[in-house]
Amino acid sequence: MCWPTAASRPPVTLNWPTSWSARATTGSTDDGIERSRHRDVGVPRKTETCTCKRRSCKAIEDRTLRSLSSKKSTDGLFAIPLRMTTLPLHPPIPLPDGRDEAWRYTSLTPLADRLGARWWQPLEAAPADPAPPPGLDAIDLMRDPLPEAIARTDEEAGPADDHAPFAARLAACFAPTVQTIQIAAQYRSALPLLLIHPDSEGAGYRRHALRVGCGAEVTLIELFAGDRPQMGLTCSHLSINLEPGARLTHYRLQRFGPDQFHLGALTLSQQRESDYRLHAIELGGALARLDLSIALQQPGAACALHGLFLLDGQQHADHQVAMHHAAPHCRSRADYRTVLAGRAHAVFNGRVVVDRGACGTDSAQRNANLLLSRQAEVDTKPELEIYNDDVRCAHGATVGQLDAEQLFYLRSRGLTEAEARHALVVAFADALLAGIALAPLRQAIESAAADKIAQEPCK
C-alpha cells in the first residue's frame, strides 16, 4: 500500500498581528527587495555562442567582460573583473523569479539593480579574513598546517547539474576549482575545523567539498563575516559526503554587513549510520539565501537541522530545505526559529520526501516565529511528500509576538523594557542556543541578539 502525496498547508504570508490566512504579497520594501514582480536578469554560463534574444542576454552583452580569467587567491576565492566589454560565456543563467515556487518570496532583482557594475569588480588582493569569535580555538582549513589525517587538494570540476540550486550553478560558472577536504577514516579531531568566507566589494565565488571517512567524527565551523561598507556578493557551495558511521557537527554563522548579499548552497549525501547536525545562524546581510539539499541514502542515517534568524531593519533571509529519505529507517529533524524586528522578512520552506520502500522513516519539522514589530514579515511553508506507509512524519509552523503580561511581570521585578524584551527573546531562542556546544560561538550569538531587539515595542 502506498500513500498519495501528503497534503500540506498552502504557503502563507504572516504579518503581525494578522492571522494565518493566505494572501498575496505585493510591493517592495524600502531597500528594493521586490516581493512579487520579478524581471529576467542573467549571468553567463560557459558555451561558445549565443543565439538568445532575451532582454537578459542583451543586457549582459552590453556590459560584457574583456576577459574572465578570474583572479584566484590562496583561499579559493574568485572575483570577476569590472567593466565588461566582451563575453565569451553564453547563454546566461537567468536569475530565478516568482514563477519558481522556491523563489516566490525572494527576489534577486536588487542584486543587479543595487550592485550594478560592482558584480564584476576585481579584487586587487585576497580580502582579509574576519576574526573568529574571541576565545575560539580551531584549525583554519585554508591557512593552518593540517594534521596527517586531513588532506586538502584543488580539483577541477565541470559545471553544476541543471537541477542544482541556483547558488551552486552560479559558483560553478565562475569558480572552476573545487577545494576538497578529505578526512581520514576513524579520525577524531580535538579541535573544530574552521572555514572562513570573507565579504567582497565585488562578486566572490567559492566551491568546497568535504568528505568525511568511515567512522570519523569532526566539527566544522563556517564563518561568513565582514564589515565592508560597500555592497558585494558572496556566493558559496559546500558539498558534504558522510561515509558509513561518520559524524559531523556543522556550525554555520552568517554575520555580513548591512549591504552584503549572500547566496549559499549546501548539498549533503549520507551513507549508512552516519550522523549530521547543523546549527545555522543568520544575523547579518541585506539578503541571505541558503539552499540545503540533503539525501539520506542508506539505512540508519540521521540528520538534525537547527536554524536561528535574528533580523532587524530591512534584512531578508531565506532558507530552503529539501530532505530526501531514500532508504529505510532514517531519521530527520528540522527546527527553525526566527526573531524579526523592524521591516525584516524571513522565508522558510521545508520539504521532506519519503520514497517508496523507505519504511520506518521518522521525520519532523517545526518553524516558530517571533515578530517584534508590525512591519516584520515571515513566509513559511513546511511540506511532506510521502510515498510509503509505516512512517512517522510531522510538520508545523507558529507565529506570535512578545506577551505583554510577561513583559509587565519582568518590568515589575526591576528590569528595564529593553532587558525584559531581551530576556524573552533569549528564552524563545534558548532551545536552539542550548545545542551550541562551543561556548565562544554561543556567547557571540547572544551578544548579537542584544543589538537586534532594541526596536519599537509591540503594539
pLDDT in tens, 164-200: 898 998 888 888 889 999 999 999 999 999 999 998 7
pLDDT at 61: 37
Domain end, chosen from 64, 95, 120, is at 120
Task: Tell me: do 112 and 159 sit in the same domain.
Answer: no
DSSP 324-365: EE-SSS-EEEEEEEEEE-TT-EEEEEEEEEE-TT-TT-EEEE
pTM (predicted TM-score): 0.80
More confident: 391 or 53: 391
Cα 152 to Cα 363: distance, rounded to the nearest angstrom: 35
Say if residues 334 and 308 touch (Cβ distance below 8 Å).
no
237 shares its domain with 324: yes
Answer yes or no: is 420 within a domain.
no
Residue 124 neighbours by CB under 8 Å, 6+ apart: none
Per-residue confidence (pLDDT) for residue 128, from 0 to 100: 62
Give the confidence band of 385 by pLDDT, cuts at 50, 70, 90: very high
- Whether residues 180 and 49 share a domain: the answer is no
Domain assignment of residue 79, yes or no: yes
Query: Is residue 239 within 8 Å of 206, Cβ to Cβ?
Result: no
pLDDT tens-place string over residues 298-330: 999 999 999 999 999 999 999 999 999 999 999
**Are residue 65 and residue 179 in the same domain, yes or no?**
no
Judge if 143 and 105 occupy the same domain.
no
User: Is residue 234 domain-shared with residue 380, that is, in the same domain?
Assistant: yes
* 183 occurs within a structural domain: yes
Say which residue, 68 or 130, is predicted with more confidence.
Answer: 130
The answer to whether residue 348 sits within a structural domain is yes
Which run of H or E residues covers position 423? helix 417-433
CA–CA gap between residue 13 and residue 11 (Å, rounded): 7
Query: Per-residue pLDDT for 1 more than 90?
Result: no
Q: What is the largest CA-CA distance in the chain?
A: 71
> Looking at 387, 403, 419, which one is the last position of a domain?
403
218 and 93: one domain? no
Tell me, yes or no, whether 272 lies in a domain: yes
Are 111 and 149 within one domain?
Answer: no
Q: Which residue, 403, 419, 447, sits at the end of a domain? A: 403
| 29's grid cell | 520594501
Let me know whether 48 and 165 are in one domain. Answer: no
Residue among 268, 275, 346 at smallest CA distance from 307: 346
Asked if residue 110 is part of any domain, the answer here is: yes
Q: Once rounded to an integer, what is the mean pLDDT over residues 382-401?
A: 91
- Give the pLDDT band of residue 238 (cuts 50, 70, 90): very high
334, 373: one domain: yes
Which amino acid appears at position 432 of this protein? L
Categorize the per-residue pLDDT at 73 as very low, low, confident or very high, splitting at 50, 70 and 90. very low
The confidence band for 456, taking pLDDT boundaries of 50, 70 and 90, is low
Cα dihedral 165→168→172→173 (10° resolution): 60
Q: Are residues 115 and 146 in the same domain?
A: no
Q: What is the pLDDT of residues 292-305, one digit of tens each?
A: 999 999 999 999 99
pLDDT recorded at residue 91: 46
Domain coverage including residue 370: 136-403
Lowest mean per-residue pLDDT among 15-24, 86-95, 315-324, 334-343: 15-24
Measured distance CA(286)–CA(314) in Å, rounded? 7
227 shares a domain with 374 = yes
Counting the structural domains of the chain, the total is 2
In a domain, 229, yes or no: yes
The pLDDT confidence band at residue 32, using thresholds 50, 70 and 90, is very low
In a domain, 211, yes or no: yes
Beta strands in 258-344 (DSSP E): 260-270, 275-282, 287-296, 302-311, 316-325, 331-340
